[in-house]
Amino acid sequence: MTRFQKALGILLSLCFFTILTIVPEPVFTGKNVYRHLPLYRFLEKKSREIDQYGDQKTYEAIASENGKYLRQKAKEEQTSISEKEKKKNSKSKKKQKTKKQKTKKTEKKNTSRETISTAVPDPAIDLSPDLLADYDYLLGQFYIVDSNTETNPAQLNAQDFLKQDFKISKDTDTPQILIYHSHSQETFADSREGEEADTIVGVGDYLTQLLAENYGYQVVHLKEQFDMAGGELDRSAAYDYARDYLEPYLQENPDIQVIIDLHRDGVPEDRHLVTEINGKPTAQILFYNGLSYTTAKGSLEYLPNPYIQQNLAFSFQLEYQTAQYYPEFYRGIYLAGYRYNLHLRPRSILLEAGAQTNTVQEVKNAMEPFAYILNKVLQG
């Protein structure tokens, strides 16, 4: 017991005996009457507080430690809150950054789509069913017939062509569209020698990218050089070489439904096949169909094509969409006497994109509206 506690005890005793001599008996005969005295209650409370910790120094030490502990806990809590806020902000920033990156990536990826998906029908010619049913009108507006072949109203029937369904599903992981080049060495006005990107093959690369990334098709681009023999340019048997390669390839990939033989045309040097689409100089296009029929020999039995009518309908639907959305873009559908490997699939086309007088960029620009109209036909 400390001196303070001893002094306190003596003081309490003196007070108690003093009260006994002053207060009448009835007052203090009750049990624990001294507890009613304010002074005693105050002194008792203080005594308990001190006894709880043993002595004043111990109490002060504990109070000091408690203070340190509380300060430490407060600091830890503040640090924890701060860390949580940092993590929250970090996550928020990361989320915003990811969102920006995705947006940027999507914008980059869909640049071409944005520029061409806003196309609206604006035909320069009358596309009414009555006029399209007129064979002479149809022939004059859509076709160029080579002098070595001929056609007739039964073969060119716009109503039948537009009824045919060329829709394909995008829900597949197998190749759907095949792009190749019977004439892989075709170049343009500003092509750099030895640069594949500046040839028709480079144009095929861009078309492949558009169809795959912008429209979601599974596309195969073959770059075999069917017009090269022994390191020298030789186009005399290019279609035969291409057929020999493609037939087994298609057997291995039976889900391929669309075949595009991508070329550029050859025109007089003073002719420039260009228009403007979406503010870009754009090479014009020509579709090419083989009828396996010549005026000299009639039907070419050695070049059978069971898909002639489907080929004609497919190219007509492409031309019909082009006439609606890009009337200055197309040059027509050229009808020639031979087959040109169009017998490989019903949806086979030979596409002439620009000519040797066009720039590389003009021809690549042409792939954007072409991909757009091809998608429209394939999606019905």
Distance spanning both ends of the chain, measured CA to CA:
102
| 304-329 as b/e: b if 16+ CB within 10 A | ebebbbbbbbbbbbbbbbbbbbbeeb
Within 13 Å, how many C-alpha atoms sit on residue 206's CB side? 21
State how far the alpha carbon of 249 is from the alpha carbons of 70, 173, 208, 263, in Å. 78, 17, 18, 20
Q: What is the pLDDT of residue 28?
A: 44
Placement of tokens 């109203």 in the chain: 153
Helix, strand, coil percentages, rounded to 5, for the chain: 50, 15, 35
Mean pLDDT is highest, among 53-57, 74-78, 81-85, 226-230, for 226-230
Q: What is the pLDDT of residue 35?
A: 45
* Torsional sign, CA 363, 263, 260, 184: negative
Q: How far apart are CA 316 and CA 322, in angstroms?
A: 10
Check whether 190 has a pLDDT greater than 50: yes
Q: Name the percent of the chain lying above pLDDT 70.
A: 69
- φ and ψ of 192, to 5 deg: -85, 135
Q: How far apart are CA 280 and CA 366, in angstroms?
A: 9
Amino acid residing at 373:
I
Output 181 or 5, whichever has higher pLDDT. 181
Report residue 308 as tokens.
């002639």
Whole-model pTM? 0.71
Average pLDDT over residues 154-160: 98
Report residue 280 as tokens.
């870009």
Average pLDDT over residues 302-309: 98
Amino acid residing at 320:
Y
Q: Which helix (H) or strand (E) holds 294?
A: strand 293-294
3-class secondary-structure state, position 277: strand
Beta bridge partners of 286: 352
Q: What is the pLDDT of residue 119?
A: 84
Mean pLDDT over each residue of the chain, to the nearest integer: 83
Under the banding of pLDDT at 50, 70 and 90, the label for residue 6 is low
Judge whether 350 and 287 are in contact, CB under 8 Å: yes
Q: At what angle do helices 3-22 and 38-53 cross, to 10 degrees?
A: 160
Of residues 156, 176, 141, the one with CA closest to residue 375: 176
CA gyration radius, the chain: 46
3-class secondary-structure state, position 236: coil
Check whether 341 has a pLDDT greater than 70: yes
Q: What is the pLDDT of residue 29?
A: 42
Under the banding of pLDDT at 50, 70 and 90, the label for residue 77 is low
Check whether 115 has a pLDDT greater than 50: no
Amino acid residing at 330:
Y
Under the banding of pLDDT at 50, 70 and 90, the label for residue 268 is very high
Q: How far apart are CA 153 and CA 340, in angstroms?
A: 23
Q: How far apart are CA 208 and CA 200, in angstroms?
A: 12
Range with lowest mean pLDDT among 37-46, 195-204, 355-364:
37-46
